[in-house]
């Protein structure tokens, strides 16, 4: 009976998701039609390329610079899909449905690193456009996510990496705060972090640790990090490893942070990045799991906040007896194989990968560069010491599995993980049901 109810929930959820996607597609196509109508009525003799992404302020700056350099020849038209209106999954489904129609109106689109395997079928192969020396200028961590069957199908837009931020002004009020900070800088163990959290909770009613546990990819990142840290992967020899002792240990910790140790509020099961950051700031939380450009992301959405100035970044905690790891992420750029303007699209994405463009993206938006030359420029690094931290930190980076069906698998796994954190199902049952659903 319980399984039947779960299946019914999946059907309802699928219907709602489908309806939402249809509405989003209608809105998306409307934006395209308006853009194309406005531009096609123009008498300009320029090649126009259409670029779909969450268009940030620094991206607009880079696009304007490219358009100025190529004035009268090429013009980039940005189609904005902001994160405030479109979730990552909604963007994925919207783009997949559009590309499936073989329409040639989109030339370049931004894709989460984990979409590469799925979107390769609609992407222009890029090896012929990039020499071996070109590829050497790309961070190895980033280049790996651009390959499908050892062929280059994307270029990296920017890197991201999971870490933790804390409020220094709050931490400084704790006894032995200097000792605590030294331990945090080297990656604190989960056992010591939990101990610190319980002591903090006994002194104050402020939230100690905020992480993202809604049913979405951010929750999968936390789970995969704990799994990979134990030298275990999601698949081994094409066999799903969700019921392994390592998987049970990983999920048990996430459940216990909320329910046993109570160092994270139950509200985290409704948090994605944006609302978790806002909750952390407004409620004066001490720690938050985040991504590299969290402070600038928050400022761009909610405006300047003095508390942001007190944030310090440190590695995420690690399990006792294991080496720290950090999940790498980021977004890549792909060229639609149906595009009629591939030469112009290539010119634009090469500009986006240039030192000039990548420095603008980093300085104005906090986007981590993917160009090796920037990390080798000692003068630039001395002006931007944060890049030294990230250059060293990335050596602990691990990727999520490169699977064609990864996003489908992730949706199922996070559904059951969230149920376990909400105490609607046991840890073992959650992993068993996820395995059964995936295998079916």
pLDDT one-digit tens code per residue, 398-422: 999 888 889 899 999 999 999 999 9
3-state secondary structure 1-45: CHHHHHHHHHHHHHHHHHHHHHHHHHHHHHHHHHHHHHHHCCCCC
Q: CA-to-CA distance for 25 and 102, rounded, in angstroms?
A: 15
The pLDDT score that the predictor gives to residue 9 is 47
389 has a pLDDT exceeding 50: yes
Which segment of 12-21, 379-388, 390-399, 421-430 scores lowest on mean pLDDT?
A: 12-21
pLDDT one-digit tens code per residue, 100-119: 999 999 999 999 999 999 99
Q: How many CB atoms lie within 10 A of CB 79?
A: 17
Q: Where are the alpha helices (DSSP H) in 101-188?
A: 116-119, 132-136, 140-144, 168-171, 177-185
pLDDT one-digit tens code per residue, 160-176: 999 999 999 999 999 89
Q: CA-to-CA distance for 124 and 120, rounded, in angstroms?
A: 8
Long-range own/partner contacts, residues 410-416 (CB < 8 A, 24 or more apart): 410/114, 410/217, 410/220, 411/89, 411/215, 412/437, 412/438, 413/220, 413/223, 413/242, 413/438, 414/215, 414/216, 414/217, 414/219, 414/220, 414/223, 415/215
The pLDDT score that the predictor gives to residue 42 is 45
Confidence band of 11 (pLDDT split at 50, 70, 90): very low
What does pLDDT average to over the chain? 89
pLDDT one-digit tens code per residue, 201-245: 888 889 999 999 999 999 999 999 999 999 999 998 888 999 999
Q: CA-to-CA distance for 365 and 367, rounded, in angstroms?
A: 6
Confidence band of 282 (pLDDT split at 50, 70, 90): very high
Q: CA-to-CA distance for 307 and 39, rounded, in angstroms?
A: 44
CA angle 252, 255, 258 (to 5 degrees): 145
> What counts of helices (H) and strands (E) characterise the chain?
20, 13
157 has a pLDDT exceeding 90: yes
21 has a pLDDT exceeding 90: no
- The pairing of strands 47-53 and 108-112 is parallel
Pick 198 or 402 by higher pLDDT.
Answer: 198
Domains of the chain: 23-159+331-398 (3.40.190.10), 161-328+404-439 (3.40.190.10)
Q: Where are the alpha helices (DSSP H) in 283-369?
A: 294-302, 342-352, 355-365
Q: CA-to-CA distance for 54 and 303, rounded, in angstroms?
A: 18
């Amino acid at each position: 009976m319980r399984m039947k109810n779960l299946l019914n929930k999946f059907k309802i959820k699928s219907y709602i998701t489908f309806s939402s996607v249809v509405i989003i597609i209608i809105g998306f196509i409307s934006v395209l039609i308006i853009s194309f109508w406005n531009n096609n009525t123009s008498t300009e003799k320029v090649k126009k390329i259409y670029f779909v992404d969450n268009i940030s302020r620094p991206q607009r700056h880079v696009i304007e610079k490219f358009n100025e350099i190529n004035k009268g020849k090429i013009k980039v038209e940005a189609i904005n899909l902001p994160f405030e209106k479109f979730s990552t999954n909604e963007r994925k489904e919207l783009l997949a449905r559009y590309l499936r129609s073989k329409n040639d109106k989109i030339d370049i689109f931004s894709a989460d690193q984990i979409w590469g395997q799925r979107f390769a079928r609609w992407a222009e192969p890029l090896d012929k456009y990039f020499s071996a020396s070109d590829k050497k200028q790309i961070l190895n961590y980033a280049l790996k996510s651009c390959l499908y069957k050892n062929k280059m199908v994307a270029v990296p837009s920017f890197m991201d990496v999971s870490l933790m931020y804390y409020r220094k002004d709050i931490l400084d009020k704790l006894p032995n705060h200097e000792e605590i900070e030294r331990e945090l800088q080297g990656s604190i163990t989960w056992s010591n972090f939990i101990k610190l959290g319980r002591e903090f909770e006994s002194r104050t009613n402020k939230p100690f640790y905020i992480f993202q546990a809604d049913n979405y990819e951010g929750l999968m990142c936390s789970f995969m990090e704990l799994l990979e840290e134990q030298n275990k992967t999601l698949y081994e020899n094409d066999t799903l490893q969700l019921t392994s002792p390592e998987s049970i240990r990983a999920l048990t910790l996430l459940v216990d942070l909320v329910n046993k140790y109570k160092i994270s509020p139950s509200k985290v099961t409704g948090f994605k990045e944006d609302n978790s950051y806002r909750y952390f700031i407004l409620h004066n939380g001490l720690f938050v799991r985040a991504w590299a450009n969290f402070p600038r992301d928050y400022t761009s959405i909610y405006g300047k906040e003095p508390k942001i100035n007190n944030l310090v970044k440190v590695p995420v905690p690690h399990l006792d007896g294991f080496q720290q790891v950090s999940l790498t992420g980021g977004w890549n750029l792909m060229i639609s194989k149906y595009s009629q303007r591939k030469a112009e699209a290539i010119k634009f994405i090469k500009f986006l990968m240039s030192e000039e463009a990548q420095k603008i993206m980093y300085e104005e938006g906090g986007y981590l560069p993917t160009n090796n030359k920037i990390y080798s420029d000692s003068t630039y690094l001395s002006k931007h010491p944060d890049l030294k931290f990230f250059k060293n930190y990335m050596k602990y980076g691990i990727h999520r599995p490169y699977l064609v069906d990864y996003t489908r698998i992730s949706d199922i796994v996070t559904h059951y993980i969230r149920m376990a954190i909400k105490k609607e199902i046991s840890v073992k049952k959650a992993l068993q049901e996820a395995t059964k659903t995936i295998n079916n």
